[in-house]
Amino acid sequence: MGHNIKTRTGHTIFAEDIGTGIPVVFVHGWPVSHKMFEYQMNELPKQGYRFIGIDLLGFGKSDKPWNMYTYDAQAEAVHEVVEHLGLNHFVLVGFSMGGPIAIRYTNKYGAAKVDKLLLLSAAAPVFTQRDAYPFGMKKEEADDMIAQIQTDRPNTLQNFREMFFAQEHSEPFMEWFFHLGLEASGHGTIQAMEALRDEDLRDELVHISAPTYIFHGKKDEICPFDFANEMTGGIVNSTVIPFEHSGHGLLFDEKEKFHTELMRVLQG
C-alpha cells in the first residue's frame, strides 16, 4: 500500500509499504525514486520481510518544495515516515545520496531503532574532493553538472545514466531508469546536487554503532571504491562487501549477487 505522510513542515512524503515481517526501509539515490528498488520490492515480501520505500522530498511521488534538500531536511523526512509507521526496530538501506541521508538519520533520530545499516554505493562520507579527501569529483564538476541541468536536464540525466552501470543493460531498461530521474523536480534535482557537493559527514561516522554493511562496486565511476574504504575506516562495526563487476548501479549490474548478499545480511 502507498502512504502519503504529512510532515511537520506541511509537506507530503510518499512511502510504498509492501509485505509483513521485519521492516526494511529503503532510501533511494539522486535523482530517482523508491521505484529503483523494484526487484527488492518483488522479492523481500516473499522472504518474510516488509519492504518500505521512501520517496525523498523533490523526487518520485513526494512533494517538491522549493528548499528542503539538505541532508538534515531529508533525514527529517525519513524520521517522519518512521514515526508515522510506528517502526521501532528495522533495517535501513541507503543507496548513493540515500547513504549519507541514512547516516544522518541514524545519528540524529534512529540510533535506538536501526538494527542494521546498509550503505549501497553510498555518496559518503563526502561526495566531492576537499582537503585531506582526494576522492570523487571536484566541486567544479558538480557545478558544471548543475549548469547543465539548468540548460538541458533530460540530456544531463541521459549522460549520467551512461556512467551509472558497468554492465550492459537493455535499451528498455535504460529508458525506464532514465524516466525515473525525469519524475523529479528540476529545482530539487539541482539543490540535492548542491547538498551532495557541499555536505561532509566525516565526523559523523564514528557515532554509528549499528552493524553496518557497505556494498560497493569496484568499477563505480560516480562514488569511487575509495569511499567504501573511508566509510569502513570511520564506522567501527562495519563490513565492506565488494562487487567486482559492478559500477554505481550494483543492484542491477550484479543483481543475483546483490540479492544473495542482501539476504545473508538480513538473516545474519
Domain boundaries, the chain: 2-267
Which amino acid, one-letter code, is at 69? Y
**pLDDT score of 216 more than 90:** yes
* Residue of 106, 24, 96 whose CA lies nearest to 59: 96
pTM of the model: 0.97
Q: Domain 2-267's class? A: alpha beta
pLDDT range class, residue 161, cuts 50, 70, 90:
confident
Which amino acid, one-letter code, is at 158? Q
Contact call for residues 31 and 192 (beta carbons, < 8 A): yes
**pLDDT score of 27 more than 90:** yes
Which amino acid, one-letter code, is at 12? T
Task: Report pLDDT digits (tens) over 67-81.
Answer: 999 999 999 999 999
- Residue that the C-alpha cell 551512461 belongs to: 162
Task: Report pLDDT digits (tens) over 32-42.
Answer: 999 999 999 99
pLDDT for residue 159: 92
**pLDDT score of 183 more than 90:** yes
Question: What count of other Cβ atoms lies within 10 Å of the Cβ of residue 171?
Answer: 7
Torsion of CA 182, 188, 190, 192, to 10 degrees: -110
Please compute the mean of the pLDDT values over residues 158-171 and round it to a whole number: 95
Question: What count of other Cβ atoms lies within 10 Å of the Cβ of residue 176?
Answer: 14
Contact call for residues 215 and 119 (beta carbons, < 8 A): yes
Helix (H), strand (E) at residue 118: strand 114-120
Under DSSP, the state recorded for 55 is P
Question: What count of other Cβ atoms lies within 10 Å of the Cβ of residue 86?
Answer: 7
**Pairing between strand 212-217 and 238-243?**
parallel
Residues with a known catalytic role: 96, 220, 248
Please compute the mean of the pLDDT values over residues 87-95 and round it to a whole number: 97
- What lies within 8 Å, CB to CB, of 8 at 6+ separation is 76, 80
Report d(CA 235, CA 213) in Å as an integer. Answer: 10
Report d(CA 62, CA 101) in Å as an integer. Answer: 16
